[in-house]
Structure 1
Amino acid sequence: MMQRRLLRDMVRIRCVEEELGVIYRDEQEMRTPVHFSIGQEATAVGVCAAMLSTDVIYSGHRCHAQYLAKGGDLTAMVAELYGKQTGCAAGRGGSVHLIDKTAGFGASSAILGEMISVAVGAAWSFALRGEPRVAATFFGDGASEEGVFHESLNFAALHRLPVVFVCENNQYSLSSPIAARQPIGTSISGRARGYGMPAHRVDGNDVFAVFEASKEAVRQCREGNGPCFLELDTYRLREHVGPNWDYDVSSRSKAEVESWVERCPIRRAVGALSISDPDVTAALADWEREFRAELHEAVAVAKSSPFPAVEELLAGTYES
C-alpha cells in the first residue's frame, strides 16, 4: 500500500538521521558539517515517490533525506560522511556533496541555490533530446532570495522545461525567520506564478498531500506542459547545521519548536493511517529496529573502509 510505503520511507530517514546525530556528536569522527532534515521528511518522501527511477533530482546542503528517498545507497552515504574512499563521492565531498546517479540523485551542493540552475540544465537536455524524463530541484526558502532562483524560473518557463521546483519552506534561513526577510503579503509560490507557471502551496508535513501534489506536478511536466512549482511548508526540528536542539542559542523559542514537534509528519501519518490500518503502530516499532540496525551496519562498514590514498587526492580535479 502506497500510504504505508510513504510512512516507512519517512521512518527510515528519521531513524538514520537520529542515529547519525548521536554518533556524530559523541564520537567526533565525521569531520564534515551535517544538515539534518529531522522534522521535514515528508517533503523528500512525497516528491520522490511521485517520480520514476529515470527521473533525476538535485538538492542543496540539507540533502540526506532526498538522497535516501530517491533510493541512494545508504552505506555509500555514511562512508562519505566519514571521508572514506568507498563514499558516494569517494570521500571528497562530505555530507553536503552526495551523488548516486544510478538512483537518479544527480548531485547536491552547499552553494545556496546552485542546484536550481543545474536541474534546469538537466531538464533542458531532456527536452532537447525528446526524452520523457523530469528533473526536480529541492531548495530552502532562503535560496528563493538568490538571483539564480529567478533566472532559473524565468528560463524554465520560457522554454517550457520539464522541471519541478520544490521549495522546502522551513521558515528560517539559518536563524533568520522568513518574516524578517520577505515583505508582508508576498509568498514564494506567488513569485513563481509571476513567471507564468503553476505554483501550489502545500502542507509540507502532510506526506499524503505532498505526494498527491507532486504526482500532478510531475505529470504536467512529463506531458510537455512546462515547469511546476511546489512550496512545501515544513520545519526542521534541529539546529541549522549539527545534531543538537538550538532553541537556547537561536531566535527560535522552545515553545515554537515544540509546537512543530506536535505537527511531526511521521506522527501525523501514523494518526491518519491507524484508523484504516490498525497494525501500523506495531509495524512502526519493527521498522525502527530494522532501520537503526541498518544504519549501525553502514557505520561499521564505513569505519573499516580505507581513506583515499594520498597520491589520489587530486583525482577528479581540474588541472590547468
Structure 2
Amino acid sequence: MNKFEGLKKHTVIVADTGEIDEIKKYKPTDATTNPSLILKASEIEEYKPLIEEAVQYGKSKGGQKAKELTITKIFVNFGKEILKVIPGRVSTEVDARLSFDVEGSLKKAHEYIALYEEAGIPKERILIKLASTWEGVLAASELEKEGIHCNMTLMFSLGQAIACAEAGATLISPFVGRILDWYKKAEGKESYPADEDPGVLSVTNIFNYYKKFGYNTQIMGASFRNVDEVLELAGCDLLTISPKLLQELTDSEGAVAQKLSADRAQKAELEKIGVDEKSFRWMVNEDAMATEKLAEGIRNFAKDTVKLEKLIEGLM
C-alpha cells in the first residue's frame, strides 16, 4: 500500500490547490483555495472560461463595484468547479484586506454564500476562510451562529486556536511549514528531525488541547514543506496537502503510523486557558513567530489579490 492510501486511514485528506485536474487525480474529500492558488490557476488556459464568465457577471451586475464583484465571482466559480469533483466541502477565502474588518468580512461571506446558493450549492458545502485575527474570530462567531461554517486560516499559535474554538469555528488551519520557515531562519538551522519540527509540535499541541478539553472545532494541518511533516501529523482531523506532496506520498510504499490520537490527548498535562481580546492580543504579541507570520501572511494574500485585480482590469 502506498503512503497516500495509508494516511487516508487516519486522516481526511484535503487538496491544497485551485487546479481542478489535480483534484480529480487525487480524489480528496475536501479542497481549499486561497488568493495565491487562484492567481496561479487563473494563468492556466483551461480555466480562462471561469474568469471570463466572472468578468461578464461583474460588468452586468456591478456598476462601480464591477471589479470587486468579479473577483468574488471568480472565487465562487472555482469553488463550484471543485465541488463537482469532490464529495465534501470547499474553502473560499475572504479578501485578506478585510482581516481587521468584522463588518466587511461578514458582508463578503454573505456575498459568497448568496452566489453559491444562486448556483444551487448549499452553504453546508462551503467553508468561509478568515484570517485568525481577533476581528476574524468575531466574524466567525457571528457567521457560525447563522449556520455559515468557517475555516480559520493564517494560524500560528495556541492563543489563536483557543479563541477560534471558543468562537465555535468549524475548522482551523494551522500553518505547519511557515512555522518551520520562521524557526529555520531564526535559529540558523537547515532542518529539524520530523518529530522536533516546530510546526509539527505546534499542531500537536493544539490537537492535544482541543481533544483534552472537548472542543468540536476540527484541526486541518496546512502549508507543508515536506512529506515527513505530513506523516508526523497522521491522525490529525484533516490535512490539506499540495499536489506535489500528494504525488510523493502516492509514490512511496509503506505503512503509515497514527501519530496523533484523541485518547492520548486526554492524558496530556495541559491547563485550560481563558482567552478574551486582551489576552489574545497579548499571547500573539508575545510569540514573535506568530506575530510576524500572521502579518506577513495577510500582506502576501492581499498582494496576490491585488495582482488578480490587475489581471481582471485588463479584461474589463
TM-score range, shorter chain: 0.3 to 0.5
- Specify which structure has the higher proportion of helix: 2
TM-score (ref. length: structure 1): 0.34
